[in-house]
């Protein structure tokens, strides 16, 4: 009986502490996350999964050339901008973390991880975070979790990240999140996820993030996050193809065969990643038509038009904009499909 009363007293004390430091305006985000820096490029990332709606609005913070922060458990969202501000002033990750936690009366309920632009990492897991709660730091990364089903989530995350060295940076990040789920993940299940990547060098504020993806509500948020990233990769190939095509035409010279091949290589890579996307097929076909490869263009456009006739209507509007430069006869062939 005395032991039960003692445990009840401890529980009430923890609850009282939480009530004192926790604002109803701030979510309780029990989750797993990774902050990391790519040694090759200097890019920094923060990725997270939680059984909480819209985790991407709360946990991840990052700034190009500055750092990346995860603030979770009994969240104090101000840790994000405050930590970035300190890193911007030249604080190391550990100095920034120490500066913030020492003045926080709720630090034993917080979980924070910081990586700076030099790859220094710092992490804090308060002793009153809901178990299983821990963090594991490695070279250029930190993984952290709380309210986990099993006790090896962080170890699985760290192992997946370290053993995937040599693979693309974002792939390593995704593998780490997926390993966490395989190890049991959040005891409550899955709901949302987010992934942010910023360049290692300071950029303009409007060009600060290279990846900024969120899955706010899904029964399989990690699968959806990976799917969205593959879509982004596809569109990056499309953009590269468009730039190559634009450059060819801005020179006012006949398109070099190698330049055409480079653009088409990018378009083909995009379609391979996202084969069901009509827009990618459409603009690839338009590029083929503009480069006098009408046979291939007509085959692709026929499929696109048969699937959605609005693309044919759009085609009529391209010549006035200078985006379709075929002869009148070839234009008639296209519109007759």
Q: Under DSSP, is residue 38 helix (H, G, I), strand (E, B) or coil? A: coil
| Spatial strand order in the sheet of 211-215 | 134-138, 141-145, 31-37, 44-50, 192-198, 211-215
247 pLDDT more than 70: no
Residues in the chain: 337
Q: What residues does each domain of the chain span?
A: 24-219, 233-335
| CA 174 centroid distance within chain | 9
DSSP character at residue 148: B
Cα 87 to Cα 68, 79, 205, 293: the distances in Å are 10, 12, 16, 53
CB 28 within 8 A of CB 126: no
Task: Give the Cα separation of 281 and 299 in Å (integer).
Answer: 11
- Using the structure block, give the residue that is written with the tokens 């801005």: 250
pLDDT tens by residue, 111-162: 999 999 999 999 999 999 999 999 999 999 999 999 999 999 999 999 999 9
pLDDT value at residue 27: 56
Tokens of 167: 């693979």
The secondary element (H helix, E strand) that includes residue 96 is helix 93-101
Task: Give the Cα separation of 62 and 73 in Å (integer).
Answer: 18
pLDDT tens by residue, 189-222: 999 999 999 999 988 888 899 999 999 999 999 9
- Using the structure block, give the residue that is written with the tokens 């974002």: 170
Q: Which CATH class is domain 24-219?
A: alpha beta
Mean pLDDT of the region 290-313: 95
Q: If you average pLDDT over every residue of the chain, what do you get?
A: 89
CB 123 within 8 A of CB 138: no
Following DSSP, what letter does each residue of 182-221 receive, concatenated?
A: HTT-BTT---EEEEEEE-SS---GGG--SEEEEE-S-SSH
How sure is the predictor about 267, in pLDDT bands with cuts at 50, 70 and 90?
A: confident
* CATH superfamily to which 233-335 belongs: Tetratricopeptide repeat domain (1.25.40.10)
pTM check: above 0.75: yes
Task: Give the Cα separation of 59 and 113 in Å (integer).
Answer: 10
| CA 162 centroid distance within chain | 19
pLDDT value at residue 239: 84
List beta partners, residue 62: 68
* H helix runs in 188-320, sequence order: 221-250, 257-273, 278-290, 294-307, 310-316
Tokens of 85: 């501000």
Q: Which residue has the higher pLDDT, 323 or 6?
A: 323
List beta partners, residue 196: 46, 212
CB 37 within 8 A of CB 44: yes
85 half-sphere exposure, CB direction, 13 A CA radius: 7
Task: Give the Cα separation of 58 and 39 in Å (integer).
Answer: 27
Write phi, then psi, for 336 (nearest 5 degrees).
-85, -5
22 pLDDT more than 60: no
Q: Are strands 67-74 and 44-50 parallel, antiparallel or unpaired?
A: unpaired
pLDDT value at residue 255: 53
Following DSSP, what letter does each residue of 291-315 receive, concatenated?
A: TT-HHHHHHHHHHHHHH-THHHHHH
Mean pLDDT of the region 157-181: 98
Task: Give the Cα separation of 211 and 198 in Å (integer).
Answer: 7
pLDDT tens by residue, 53-82: 999 999 999 999 999 999 999 999 999 999
Mean pLDDT of the region 303-321: 96
């Amino acid at each position: 009986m005395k032991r039960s009363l003692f445990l009840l007293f401890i529980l009430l004390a923890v609850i009282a502490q939480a009530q004192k430091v926790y604002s109803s305006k701030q979510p309780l985000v029990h989750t797993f996350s990774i902050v990391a820096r790519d040694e090759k490029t200097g890019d920094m990332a923060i990725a997270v999964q939680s059984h909480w709606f819209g985790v991407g609005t709360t946990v991840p913070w990052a700034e190009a050339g500055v750092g990346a922060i995860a603030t979770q458990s009994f969240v104090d969202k101000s840790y994000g901008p405050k930590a970035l501000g300190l890193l911007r002033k030249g604080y190391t990750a550990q100095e920034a973390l120490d500066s913030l936690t020492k003045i926080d009366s709720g630090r034993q309920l917080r979980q924070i991880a910081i990586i700076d632009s030099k790859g220094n990492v710092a992490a804090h897991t308060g002793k009153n975070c809901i178990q299983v709660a821990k963090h594991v730091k490695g070279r250029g990364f930190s993984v952290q979790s709380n309210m986990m089903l099993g006790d090896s989530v962080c170890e699985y995350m760290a192992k997946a990240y370290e053993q995937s060295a040599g693979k693309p940076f974002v792939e390593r990040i995704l593998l780490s999140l997926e390993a966490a789920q395989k190890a049991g993940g959040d005891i409550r299940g899955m709901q949302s996820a987010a992934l942010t990547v910023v360049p290692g060098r300071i950029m303009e504020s409007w060009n600060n993030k290279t990846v900024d993806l969120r899955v706010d509500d899904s029964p399989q948020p990690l699968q959806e996050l990976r799917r969205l990233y593959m879509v982004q990769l596809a569109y990056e190939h499309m953009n590269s193809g468009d730039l190559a095509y634009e450059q060819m035409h801005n020179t006012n010279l006949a398109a070099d065969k190698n330049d055409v091949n480079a653009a088409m290589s990018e378009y083909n890579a995009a379609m391979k990643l996202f084969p069901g996307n009509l827009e990618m097929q459409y603009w690839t076909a338009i590029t083929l038509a503009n480069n006098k490869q009408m046979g291939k263009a007509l085959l692709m456009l026929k499929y696109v038009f048969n699937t959605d006739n609005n693309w044919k209507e759009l085609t009529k509007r391209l010549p006035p904009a200078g985006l379709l430069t075929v002869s009148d006869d070839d234009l008639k062939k296209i519109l007759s499909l």
